[in-house]
Every structure is written in structure tokens, then in C-alpha cells.
Amino acid sequence: MRDDPTPRRPTLDEVAERAGVSRTAASRVLNNAPNVSRAKREAVLSAISELGYVPNPTARALATQQAGAVALIISGEDPAVLADPFYGQVIAGASTVLEETDLHLVLCLATSARGQVRVRQLLRARAVDGVMLMSLRGDDPLTGLALAAGVPAVFGGKPLHREVPYYVDVDNVLGARQATEHLISRGRTRIATLTGPLDTEVGQARRRGYLEAMTLAGLPYRAEEGGDFTERGGVAAMEALLARHPDLDAVFAANDNMAAGALRVLHRAGRAVPTEVAVAGFDGLTVSENTEPPLTTVHQPIRNLGREMTRMLLALIAGERPSPLILPTTLVQRDST
């Protein structure tokens, strides 16, 4: 079944020899470049299929000075960030776009010291033709590294405190405002918020959206507690919130995970949802369908985020100068409000 230990794959030279042409001619056929006679082209083509020739991507990469791959770099404290299905969606989106090209996707987790080092090497060695970076904290050194590396870089989500030329983001402010306004339209006035980490742009933006809505509606009530986008964090934050603001009648959680945690706390505390307390989340992941009751949430087009980041990166690699992109969100109304 298995061939000899080292079948030594055919090279372009062998193809050329078999077809009775020069290596260059064969190369031309491969990259269907002009200036090859019909006869030679066919000779090469059949030599290729007879020999089962497959071009060596490494050699090609060396000659063309292009890696043939782009990286998706995910930063974070802990490899567990990937447990969030969010990234799966981003990856899926990126993949569908890359599928149409001849670029591969290399995945880098910069979640440990060692991981950071590897990313740095990746960038410095120009091992990829471009990078997409996600979930960077405000002070993440990766932002600077990526920009300094001079390799095409697209950011998923605007980094905090830093201007970057190319990014795709979701309209977090507007989405949060929508959610809060929805709660207001339900007659709630004492609306609290569980914020995300405030050293991220997402965390800040969603909080801002909440504040905008409250201000615009002329509601003076303010109550917030910081979370970390995990359900566990949501539980802790909701407990604190409830202790300090027992009069709240609605909660806008900055993501679904925290909202799920909040629901459980409210449930334990005997607060009926949505009658006594209404809850809205943000993300629109499947978590939000599984909660009790199903969660009203702001759906963000995550798959699209991945797709658009990739498209932007491809444009960048192609030498264009794409504009930053902000994707819209939509409110999904379920039973928690």
C-alpha cells in the first residue's frame, strides 16, 4: 500500500525534461503565463499529470518572497479564550474567504509568555503575508509589534487608545444603545449594566452605548459593575450589583455569557425575569438561546467579521488601502425582556 520510504516527489526539472522543454517553459505553464506555444503547453500538462507533479510551495515561497499564508492572532490571558465560540465563528468566516485564494490560515494564540514570543518571531521573520489580530487589550504590546513589523495587519475591533489604520469592528456603541433603548421602551427606568473589561475598546464602547441611551432618555439612574465577559464573572458582578442596587428593574449585560450568569443570580435571588427584572445581552451566540428564559440580545455578525477582516487583509496585501469597516448589529428579541 505505502510506497517506498522516500518516493522523492518529481520536480519541475523532471517535468520539463519529460515534456522536452526547458524548466522555464514548464514554470510558465504552471503559472499560466503567456508566451508558451500550444504544443509545449500540452506536452507540459501531460507530463505533469503523468508524473503526478505537484509544485513545492516552499520553493515557490522562497522564489516569490511570499509566504502563502496569513495569520490569525488571538491575544488573551488564557488559552481558554478559545472556549468562547466567538472565535470559532471568526475563524469560520476567515476560512471561507481564504478558501477562494491560495493562502493558508495559521492560527496563533498569544495567550502565554511563550505564545507572545512566538508571535513576535512570526512577525519579525515575516513568516506570513499578513496578520489579523483580535481581542487586544489597551496596552497589548502586540498592537505596536504588528504595526512596527511592517507586515499588512488588520485589527478585529479597534484597539483602545491607539489609532490603527485598518480594522473591522462591530458597532458596539449603537448596539448597546439599541439594547438599552429596548429596555427603556419596555418601561424600565432603573437599568443597570454589567460592563466588559474597561481596558478593551469593546468594553468601553458598550458601556458608552448604555450611557448614551440613558442620557438621551433623560433617565438619571446609573448602576454598573465590571465583568470579564465570562459567565463566572457575570455571576459575581450581578451579585454585587444586586447587593448595591436592589431596586434595579433591568440589566444590560455587555455580552451573553455575563447575561447568562446574571440570569442565574436573579433566579436564585427570586427575581422573576422578565417581570421583575428584564435582561438583555450582547453577541447573539447560541448561549443566548439556551438560557432560561431565552435571552434578548444584540446580535453581531461574527462570521461576517471574520470574512470582512480577511477581505480587508487581502486588499491590503494586494496593495490597496481599504477603509476601516463598521458592521451593523441587530436586536434579537426573546423572552428575557
Partner DNA sequence: TGGCTGGATGTGAACGGTAACATTGTGCAA
Partner DNA sequence: TTGCACAATGTTACCGTTCACATCCAGCCA
Residues forming the site for DNA (CB under 7 A): 8-9, 11-13, 20-25, 27-28, 30-31, 34-37, 39-40, 53-56, 58-60, 62-65
Please report the sign of the dihedral spanned by the C-alpha atoms of residue 201, residue 204, residue 207, residue 208: negative
Write down the least CB distance from residue 257 to its own copies, Å.
8
> Using CB distances below 5 to 8 A depending on partner kind, what does residue 215 bind out of its own copies, DNA, none?
none
268 binds its own copies (CB under 8 A): no
Instruction: Please give the Cα distance from 73 to 131 (Å, whole number).
Output: 7
Shorter beta-carbon distance to its own copies: residue 10 or 189: 10
Write down the least CB distance from residue 22 to DNA, Å.
3
Assess contact for 182 and 171: CB atoms under 8 A. no
144 binds its own copies (CB under 8 A): no
- Distances in Å between the Cα of 59 and the Cα atoms of 11, 45, 88, 105, 129 are 11, 20, 32, 19, 16
> Using CB distances below 5 to 8 A depending on partner kind, what does residue 25 bind out of DNA, its own copies, none?
DNA
- Quick count: other Cβ atoms within 10 Å of Cβ 262? 32
Residue owning grid cell 503567456? 34
228 binds its own copies (CB under 8 A): no
Please report the sign of the dihedral spanned by the C-alpha atoms of residue 99, residue 100, residue 103, residue 107: negative
Assess contact for 336 and 291: CB atoms under 8 A. yes
Shorter beta-carbon distance to DNA: residue 30 or 269: 30
Write down the least CB distance from residue 181 to DNA, Å.
54
Residue selected from 13, 20, 114, 335 as contacting its own copies according to rule CB under 8 A: 114
> Using CB distances below 5 to 8 A depending on partner kind, what does residue 195 bind out of DNA, its own copies, none?
none
Assess contact for 133 and 120: CB atoms under 8 A. no
Helical (H) or strand (E) element with 191: strand 191-195
189 binds its own copies (CB under 8 A): no
What is the phi/psi pair of residue 235, to 5°? Answer: -60, -50
> Using CB distances below 5 to 8 A depending on partner kind, what does residue 30 bind out of its own copies, DNA, none?
DNA
Assess contact for 116 and 90: CB atoms under 8 A. no
Instruction: Please give the Cα distance from 140 to 119 (Å, whole number).
Output: 13
Residue selected from 41, 104, 208, 222 as contacting its own copies according to rule CB under 8 A: 104
69 binds its own copies (CB under 8 A): yes
Listed in sequence order, the DSSP H helices in 245-322 are: 256-268, 287-290, 302-317
Write down the least CB distance from residue 196 to its own copies, Å.
17
Scanning 96-104, 135-143, 178-186, 327-335 for contacts with its own copies by CB under 8 A, the matching segment is: 96-104
Assess contact for 288 and 322: CB atoms under 8 A. no
- Quick count: other Cβ atoms within 10 Å of Cβ 121? 10
Write down the least CB distance from residue 222 to DNA, Å.
57
Shorter beta-carbon distance to DNA: residue 50 or 77: 50
Query: What's the start-to-end Cα distance of the chain, in Å?
Result: 63
Helical (H) or strand (E) element with 142: helix 141-149
Write down the least CB distance from residue 138 to its own copies, Å.
20
Residues lying near its own copies in the complex (CB under 8 A): 2-3, 7, 9, 54-59, 61-62, 67, 69, 79-80, 82-85, 87-89, 91-93, 95-96, 99-100, 104-109, 111-112, 114-115, 118, 121-122, 124-127, 150, 231, 260, 264, 285-287, 289-292, 303
